[in-house]
Structure 1
Amino acid sequence: MTQDSGFWPNVRLVWGVVKHTAPFHCPRLMLLMVAILAAACRSTPFQVRGAVPESLGASAVVVQPFGFQWAEPDWRSVELSQRLVNVALAQTGDAALFFGPTELQVARPGEDGGNGLTRAVVATLASYGVRPDGLMVLRPSAEKRIQSGERELIDTEGYTVGQSATEVVMYVGRVEVLHPATHEVVLEVFGEATVNPYADILDEGADPAPELTSLMEALTREALRGLSSHLKPPRAPSPALATSLAWAPWDVLDMAAWMPKDMTDLEAPLRTEAGQDPRSLRMQRLRFANPHADAALLETLARRPGGLYVRAAPEGAKLSAGDLVLTLDGRPALPQTLARARLALVPVEARVQQPSGRIVPLVLP
């Protein structure tokens, strides 16, 4: 059992209640804790519905914008789905071409009376040598359920001394795997995560819903496991262009309303309605896009334009540590676009800012 299983958020909630009600020497509470832990360990972390037919194969996968079933800014749908794209790249490697939420839009089968395979989608797939029936779509979504109630307050002797109002927030997540060419939903993965109100949140602004993020990452991994034996790249990939990357998302997230586009404005004493300066907000989005990056790297990215920052590259590669890939074929550089360059039919034109600040053209791979 691992922390990705979806079990730990619920256990942490129970732990918090016990911690705030009585010391651990209370036998009744200890027995309750043990019983809950045992029950949680026996539970199934996810529900899986359906299976990908053996006859279906995929050379391309599109991760759609995240479907929040409550009000959230549009950029949140993009950044959470892009986080799931990064999960897919880490898990599947070169098994398929991956496209993110800002690149291809594929309607759900039956929506608008079509199968979602517009001319633009078909043309993009054809440019990589992929047929329309070689496309799969991942549609992540979630709803938020809130339960209100009362909690007993217990003294050190185990007696009830009062009550307090409680509010439990639960996220119910889902990842659908669609095959647009046949109008089929071939696989669905469901899961739940309860918000831990007692968790130590280091930076709530970077991730306002960490339990949701962890849940959706785990559901995406599970969906990809069900799809893995059906993935096949359109051709053998070229050697790796970089071995470690970081992403500055300015060119992708639509944050014009609260973040200045001009890099020279970063130090200006501007304030948003929420009372935060643009630099602070920029650092928060960097932390979400790069959850394992250290403070020094984030400071470096905060002062650079949007793009892919090369942390490490193989010896002899065209890219070097410290390079910032600004664009690929005239579009914003994303982790998946650089990965696709290794599987492209024709070379990809890149604009790269070197550590010196000089911008040079490169042809990849």
Structure 2
Amino acid sequence: MKFYTKIAAICFTIALFVSCGNADDDVKFGINPGGDLGLGKPVDKCLNLGDGELVLSIQNQYTTLPGKISIFFKVSDTEGKPVSGLNAEQFTIYEQGRNDACFNKISPSESSARISPNAQIFNNNTVLVLDLSNSVLDSSLEELKSASISFVNNVMPTSNSEVFKMAIYWFDGENKLHSLAPLTHVKQDLLNSISGITKDISNDPSTDLYGAVIKSTDIAEKLLRESTTNGRIGAASVVIFTDGTDQASRYTESAAIKKVTEANKNIAYFSIGLGGEIDANILSKIGKTFSVFATNKDQLETTFKEISDRVSQQANSFYLFEYCSPKRDGSGENNLAIQVKNSNRQGAVQTKFNAKGFTGGCE
């Protein structure tokens, strides 16, 4: 049975840029915030929870008789950075029935609250897009291959899992996004494809960066449509590496940025720039979730590692939270609030559920 929900979108447009790396600031990391509250709304003021530094974005919610409530959501901070590694003890449940002036706290132990494996309802796809134009092949291919291998090892789980999949594409100046490795959950297949890259894979000196952005977005959108069927929830990450600006001039900057801006909210965008010929401003717009810039090829390992950490955090910031409600059949529609605390930060979200058919004996 589905919850009755309200949709309220709260967008964050705060921009924050930080610099990290060696003393010369060779590597620069940019946080590009964004996101939605998702299903639900801000919590009632009667709870007096105060300002929230964390955002709970509900993706889906449903009930299972005799009385279990399941909520699938993503946790991030107000700058859009995903928050992973949370456990059930960090969540507090509040319910408000028709006779309650405000919310009542529900005991986690009595309600058997838990974070459950989300493998049955969640798919996460990563699309890695590499610039293999002549400038990369001639000057930084081996460093790029090494960094890409580290990226795959960091993002993909140690044991192959159907939940986490990745596809690898490459581009040069041609009006085509070339497939290097089709979507797969087998890590070794991805590693083999990267190891097999040679300098003669392309002889094109041009760069169709904007075309790569547009085409990779289409691929990510298609993957989301295919993975959000039969009650499943999907998320995707697009990671684009380049060492220059768009030279092909086949597509416009505005078309590429518009494609990213209007993409499905469950697609995260990351960009990696190398060298002095990149346009950091444009790459920050393309990598709207997070962007990294390195001045030389020796920094590629560091930059790819930072991005891989972000992609992993993104995938692991989705939670399936379940608990057994004390509400019973006949109580009608009830308000539900969930609060999460992580160190000195907290956040909460409010929604509704109907207890029709609820009885005792919830698992």
Give me the TM-score of the superposition, normalised by structure 2: 0.25
Structure with greater strand percent:
2
Question: Could you say which structure has the greater relative contact order, defined with CA pairs below 8 angstroms and 6 or more residues apart?
Answer: 2
Give me the TM-score of the superposition, normalised by structure 1: 0.25
